[in-house]
Amino acid sequence: MKYWIPVTHLDLFRLEAYGEVNAIDVVRLVNSKTFRTQRKIPRIKFRSQEYYLALRSKPNRACIFLTRDGECSVHSFKPLVCRFYPFVYSVKRDGSIEIKVNKDAINECPGLILDGKPLEEELKFKLMRLARARIRELKLYSEAIEKWNWELYSESSRVEDLLEFLLNEAKKHYIILKVEGLWVK
């Protein structure tokens, strides 16, 4: 598998609220041993192992939301990680955010044009806002996963239990993000 798409509880909330997508139908647990480099994404305890929450893929390994025409069927409310692609961000020691082109996207992303010019100011502004929202959402997601891992997880837990918990937390976190001006539909 070349790619996998990590999602947060707020990504699932968007899919359910705006697209009437049932989370259980579109997510899977990816063993954290398979993708060890995901430091920003919290690991979920489940059946004595650790996992990441990710979108399912089609049998041809394409995104579950990719149509036959190559369009995203949830484009207006897709997960933030998808919205940010083909860029990546990093937070510097001073707290500032740096945005770069994802090196893995070169020769992979058909919309990526490398002309050597700096990012247009409007695009840079949108990416900075998106990065700030993503950083905050990941913090809230980490808090939710920590609560699951230490307070609610049991060997008899089902994926449905996890998703129900995460969506309930997402409803609370949605309000926090709205108040903070960081909610992204």
30-43 pLDDT, tens digit per residue, is 988 887 666 789 99
Identify the weakest region by mean pLDDT among 33-37, 109-113, 156-160: 109-113
Asked, for residue 103, whether it belongs to a domain, the answer is yes
Domain membership of residue 176 (yes or no) is yes
Range with the largest mean pLDDT of 11-20, 30-39, 76-85, 113-122: 11-20
Q: What single letter denotes the amino acid at residue 55?
A: L
Terminal C-alpha separation, the chain: 29
Looking at the 3D structure of the chain, how many domains does it have?
Answer: 1
The domain in which residue 24 lies consists of 9-180
Residue 13 lies in a domain: yes
In a domain, 3, yes or no: no
Both tokens of residue 74?
């949830």
Residue 130 belongs to a domain = yes
Question: Does residue 2 lie in a domain region?
Answer: no
63-99 tens-digit pLDDT: 899 899 888 999 999 999 989 888 888 899 998 998 8
**Is 114 a domain residue?**
yes
161 lies in some domain: yes
Please check whether residue 12 is in contact with residue 167, taking contact to mean a CB–CB distance below 8 angstroms.
Answer: yes
